[in-house]
Amino acid sequence: MLLTSFFAALAMSFAVGWIILRSRSLHARFSLDHDTSGIQKFHSYAVPRIGGIPLMAGLVVGVTVLLAESEDWGLADDLMLCALPAFGSGLIEDLTKKIGPLPRLLAAFFAAACAFFAMDAGIYRLDIPLLDSLLSAYWVLALIFTMFAVGGVSHAINIIDGYNGLSAGVCTIIFSAYAIVAWQVGAPQMLAISLIMIGTLIGFLLWNFPRGKIFAGDGGAYLVGFMVAIIGVLLVKRHAEVSPWFPLVCMAYPVFETIFSIFRRKFLQARAVGQPDALHLHQMIYRRLVRWRVGSRDRRHRTSRNAMTAPYLWSVALTPVVPAVLFWDDTPMLIAIFLAFSLKYVWLYWRLVRFRSPRWLILYRAHTEHLSYRKK
């Protein structure tokens, strides 16, 4: 049953991606990302940015197959419906380019509120005594906290969605961790949804990585981000043995990336928090570590360099996830893992900014035309 849903989601996500690419001339006016020179743009040619459609299609088909097998999977249906506001606002932005970050974030808040009331998907404990007492005593506080946490994670996934395979690969790692722990604690619904999301992401990745033929866009990023956050909330809410820090540590990379970016812009650069820049960790890695044919204007070289960035961040994301899976019920250990990851992140970022990149991390291949010009 679970494998059937997994493969159904994978096949549908892949098939819808193929349809979008084959029919791009029909929707190019609305769907293509023509901006290749923006501050956060690193692709070489116009690419469809409506990858959220195959991602949602994979989720819908996976859930449909699951429900066809048994009526005991009603949670999956509710979860999919609650995700619609986050997905819809992002997709409208992908098609119109007229929906700003704030409306999309508010839509994610609303989606979290829907899940809170429809499935009791609320954050009531963090294993911090005083805070746990307040969250348990006042449901309004739990609602507000849940909305900000889920909306924040949705936005965080959108922030790291910068290179071919980056965010989809990171989220596949997170859902894999969820699936392992869900299996250990006997949570078949959480296991099923995690496997469906893994299948959906793999089907999308077959088009997105390494060639970047289709982008997830805001619709895809907010959909996957919402699912990452809410499944983590439900896993903790329905299984008291799972530490509330487990999903947070699994999401340590995108979450800390967002927190650090806010701190960097507000306090170190005295700029507006919402102002985009090209100083995220993945962008620094692209510039400082992936030195693959730098200066070449060949599309193949630029696309290869783009794709080579994602594996660096996959390893960054794996650093806290692996120990989190081993210590999923140990809050003090998970807190220590999160703090250790935060220090590692700051150290790596500082080295990159100061042009002190560890040499063993640099991937270098000279562009021959550039070298011949220098010799002259």
Full 3-state SS string of the chain? CHHHHHHHHHHHHHHHHHHHHHCHHHHHHHHEECCCCCCCCCCCCCEECCCHHHHHHHHHHHHHHHHHHCHHHHHHHHHHHHCHHHHHHHHHHHHHCCCCHHHHHHHHHHHHHHHHHHHCCCCCCCCCHHHHHHHHHCHHHHHHHHHHHHHHHHHHHHHCCCCCCHHHHHHHHHHHHHHHHHHHHCCHHHHHHHHHHHHHHHHHHHHHCCCCCCCCHHHHHHHHHHHHHHHHHHHHHHCCCCCCHHHHHHCHHHHHHHHHHHHHHHHHCCCCCCCCCCCCHHHHHHHHCEEECCCCCCHHHHHHHHHHHHHHHHHHHHHHHHHHHHCCCCHHHHHHHHHHHHHHHHHHHHHHHCCCCCHHHCEEECCHHHHHHHHC
Could you tell me if 303 and 290 are in contact, meaning their C-beta atoms sit under 8 angstroms apart?
no
Tally of structural domains, the chain = 1
Residue positions counted in the chain: 376
pLDDT at res. 72: 66
Q: What single letter denotes the amino acid at residue 193? A: I
> Which of 76, 40, 47, 58 shows the shortest CA–CA distance to 188?
76
Residues 6+ away with beta carbon under 8 Å from 211: 164, 303, 307
> Which of 252, 109, 107 shows the shortest CA–CA distance to 174?
252
* Residue 94 marked ligand-binding: no
In sequence order, the β-bridge partners of residue 363 are 290
Q: How far apart are CA 84 and CA 124, in angstroms?
A: 24
Torsion of CA 281, 287, 290, 292, to 10 degrees: 160
> Which of 35, 297, 281 shows the shortest CA–CA distance to 162?
281
Q: How far apart are CA 59 and CA 78, in angstroms?
A: 12
pLDDT at res. 271: 84
pLDDT at res. 229: 98
What is the chain's pLDDT, residue by residue, as a tens digit (376 residues)? Answer: 789 999 999 999 999 999 999 999 899 888 987 665 544 445 556 899 999 999 999 999 999 999 887 766 678 888 999 999 999 999 999 999 889 899 999 999 999 999 999 999 999 999 998 999 999 999 999 999 999 999 999 999 999 998 999 999 999 999 999 999 999 999 999 999 999 999 999 999 999 999 899 999 999 999 999 999 999 999 999 999 999 999 999 999 999 999 999 999 888 888 888 777 889 999 999 999 988 777 777 778 888 888 899 999 999 999 999 999 999 999 999 999 999 999 999 999 999 999 898 888 888 776 655 444 444 4
Could you tell me if 278 and 202 are in contact, meaning their C-beta atoms sit under 8 angstroms apart?
no
Residue 100 burial (CB count, 10 A): 9
- Structural domain including 93 reads 2-375
pLDDT at res. 371: 44
Q: Which residue has the tokens 């959220």?
A: 52
* Two structure tokens written together for 348: 């790596």
Give backbone dihedrals phi and psi of 364, rounded to 5 degrees, phi first: -125, 135
Residue 44 burial (CB count, 10 A): 17
* Residue 78 marked ligand-binding: no
